[in-house]
């Protein structure tokens, strides 16, 4: 898969959070890119083991996440698995 190929809703990607922790994530929305890879919304399992409820570990969301190729910072981006 091309590193800049646009993902599709439901696709598994890696989300790198603002603390540079890699998280397995699912794409929930795609925003087509212009000259760069698409931006996405993702959902992932919380890294905080204390965040539990009757259904198990809670999920978290990240919105308007840019691709790694468009993010100069050390975190808060997505990349293909």
Structure tokens at 17: 């959070």
pTM (two decimals) = 0.87
Predicted pLDDT of residue 3: 59
In the chain, where are the structural domains located?
12-80
Looking at residue 69, the DSSP 8-state letter turns out to be G
Token pair 């808060």 in the structure block, residue: 76
Predicted pLDDT of residue 33: 72
Predicted pLDDT of residue 36: 72
Say how far apart CA 25 and CA 80 lie, in whole Å: 10
Say how far apart CA 68 and CA 51 lie, in whole Å: 28
Predicted pLDDT of residue 62: 97
Predicted pLDDT of residue 2: 57
Instruction: Tell me the Cα Rg of the chain.
Output: 13
- Per-block average pLDDT, block size 10, for the chain (81 residues)? 77 96 97 80 95 94 93 92 91
33: number of Cβ within 10 Å: 16
């Amino acid at each position: 898969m091309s590193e800049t190929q646009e993902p599709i809703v439901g696709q598994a990607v890696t989300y790198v959070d603002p603390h540079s922790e890699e998280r397995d994530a699912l794409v929930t929305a795609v925003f087509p890119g212009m000259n760069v890879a698409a931006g996405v919304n993702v959902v992932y399992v919380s890294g905080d083991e204390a965040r539990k409820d009757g259904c198990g570990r809670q999920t978290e969301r990240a919105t308007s996440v840019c691709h790694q190729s468009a993010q100069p910072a050390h975190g808060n981006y997505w990349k293909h698995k």
